[in-house]
């Protein structure tokens, strides 16, 4: 049976390399397995569409819509001005502002694309004016947008909790530690780099009284934007509403803030946001249903058990096995998007990590940090390509600084998340999800 699985994976890789749309890639692999593996397509389709009826999935289109509305509303600009007024006098502070703003936006939208789309058009030109190279500025904002996949609420954590039947709130808490650590490391790396730029300009120093007035004015203006993550995250962790209800609240909150407070939203922009969100949701749900069917076929053919047997046949050393799992997840992230990788890999690898004594909640964080990195790692690198378009830079201009941030700021967190359980489990334990 393993030869059928291997053939199906070869078909999948070939279709991906040829540039076939992702749902059809997984559909082709599924057809291969059903034709040669004795699995009925009708049964798989019925099972897959039944899974899509889960109410938990409602929060995905709602968070995507909230992210698009936020990109158009002016929320991002007010957050930038708010953070910059406090740290603008520090050399390299604008880069830190970019990193922190992407983290805050991630706490609102649950998507990495929103961070690039909302902050890139505003911050990249401003960073270039201050003296940053355009390629570096684009790379910093692009890699910082990964935080949208780790700082809750996160779409991929919702998918993981749904697929593995793990508490979604526990999964949200598990990625906060790694996400905040990555944010700090990116900020430090930016400050080190900024001190090597002799022509970097600083925000003009204002008199003390005037500085206080400006700070109060920009804080007041940013208050509606700052309240958004407080309402969403406070409501989720306070038990006021579920993640799905939180997604609906984020959409409802975005409308009056966008139209009435920041006035960035118009009827045409609202219409465009709804159409863009519907298009994205259609593509995501198509991928999910085919990935679900393929992963369920793997389970039916006992592929997870075969993986466990093969991995333990290579070595019984726990550290080596965990490194191999991280490497596999990294490779998956390089060729498919984070949602697809999560649906495909989580059911297959979860039995193996449980055998190694890893908590499903910690594994949520391990999968999250690995698959998020795939968004800026070629050949898939969807966030990287979006950042290039927004920043108007060439691939070689953005590649070196992006890889520097990944190697020095991101990879250490991947290993810490894997081998230091408390980084991801401290908050779930504090909240009572682990005893």
Express each pLDDT in 240-282 by its tens digit.
Answer: 877 778 778 888 888 888 888 888 888 898 888 888 888 877 7
Which range is least confidently modeled, 48-62, 130-144, 318-332, 416-430? Answer: 48-62
Residue 139 confidence (pLDDT): 92
Q: What are phi and psi of 205, to 5 degrees?
A: -75, 130
Mean pLDDT on 301-316: 73
pLDDT in tens, 106-115: 666 666 776 7
Q: What are phi and psi of 357, to 5 degrees?
A: 85, 20
Which of 293, 295, 319, 291 has the alpha carbon at shortest distance from 307? 295
Burial bucket for residue 150 (CB in 10 Å: 0-12, 13-18, 19+): buried
Residue 78 CA to its chain's centroid (Å) = 23
Residue 183 contacts residue 147 (beta carbons within 8 Å):
yes
Comparing 295 with 376, which gets the higher pLDDT?
A: 376
Comparing 207 with 3, which gets the higher pLDDT?
A: 3
Residue 204 confidence (pLDDT): 54
Whole-model pTM: value is 0.77
How far apart, in whole angstroms, are the C-alpha atoms of residue 51 and residue 154? 20
- Measured from the Cβ of residue 271, the count of other Cβ atoms closer than 10 Å reads 10
pLDDT-based confidence at residue 208 (cuts at 50, 70, 90): low
DSSP alpha helix (H) spans, 167-266:
168-174, 176-194, 208-237, 243-256
Mean pLDDT on 293-310: 72
Residue 332 confidence (pLDDT): 79
Length of the chain: 435
How far apart, in whole angstroms, are the C-alpha atoms of residue 271 and residue 267? 6
Mean pLDDT on 332-356: 82
Comparing 417 with 115, which gets the higher pLDDT?
A: 417
Alpha-carbon radius of gyration of the chain: 22
Mean pLDDT on 95-113: 76
- 238 membership: H or E segment, kind and range: none
Which range is least confidently modeled, 87-91, 189-193, 318-322, 368-372? Answer: 87-91
Whole-number average pLDDT of the chain = 80
Residue 2 confidence (pLDDT): 63
Mean pLDDT on 429-433: 85
């Amino acid at each position: 049976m393993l030869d059928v699985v291997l053939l199906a994976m070869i078909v999948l890789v070939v279709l991906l390399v040829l540039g076939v749309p992702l749902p059809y890639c997984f559909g082709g692999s599924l057809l291969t397995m059903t034709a040669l593996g004795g699995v009925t397509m009708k049964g798989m389709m019925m099972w897959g569409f039944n899974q899509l009826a889960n109410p938990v999935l409602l929060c995905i289109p709602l968070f995507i819509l909230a992210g698009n509305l936020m990109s158009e509303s002016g929320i991002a600009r007010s957050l930038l001005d708010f953070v910059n007024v406090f740290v603008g006098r520090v050399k390299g502070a604008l880069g830190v502002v970019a990193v922190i703003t992407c983290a805050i936006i991630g706490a609102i939208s649950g998507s990495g694309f929103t961070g690039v789309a909302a902050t890139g058009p505003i911050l990249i030109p401003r960073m270039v004016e201050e003296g940053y190279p355009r390629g570096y500025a684009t790379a910093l904002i692009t890699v910082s947008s990964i935080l949208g996949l780790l700082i809750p609420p996160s779409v991929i954590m919702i998918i993981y909790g749904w697929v593995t039947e793990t508490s979604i709130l526990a999964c949200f808490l598990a990625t906060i530690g790694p996400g905040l650590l990555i944010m700090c490391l990116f900020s430090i790396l930016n400050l080190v780099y900024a001190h090597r730029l002799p022509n970097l300009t600083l925000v003009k120093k204002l008199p003390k009284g005037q500085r206080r007035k400006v700070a109060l004015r920009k804080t007041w203006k940013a208050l509606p934007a700052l309240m958004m993550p407080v309402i969403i995250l406070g409501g989720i962790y306070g038990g006021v509403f579920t993640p799905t209800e939180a997604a609906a609240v984020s959409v409802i909150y975005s409308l009056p803030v966008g139209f009435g407070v920041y006035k960035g939203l118009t009827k045409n922009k609202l219409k465009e946001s709804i159409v863009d969100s519907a298009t994205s949701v259609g593509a995501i749900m198509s991928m999910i249903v085919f990935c679900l069917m393929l992963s369920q076929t793997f389970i039916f053919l006992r592929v997870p058990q075969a993986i466990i047997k093969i991995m333990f046949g290579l070595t019984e050393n726990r550290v080596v096995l965990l490194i191999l799992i991280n490497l596999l997840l990294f490779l998956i992230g390089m060729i498919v998007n984070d949602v697809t990788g999560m649906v495909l890999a989580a059911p297959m690898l979860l039995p193996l990590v449980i055998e190694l004594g890893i908590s499903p909640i910690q594994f949520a964080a391990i999968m999250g940090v690995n698959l998020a990195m795939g968004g800026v790692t070629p050949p898939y690198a969807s966030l990287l390509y979006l950042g290039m378009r927004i920043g108007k830079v060439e691939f070689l201009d953005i590649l070196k600084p992006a890889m520097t941030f990944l190697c020095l700021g991101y990879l250490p967190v991947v290993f810490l998340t894997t081998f230091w359980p408390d980084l991801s489990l401290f908050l779930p334990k504090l909240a009572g999800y682990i005893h």
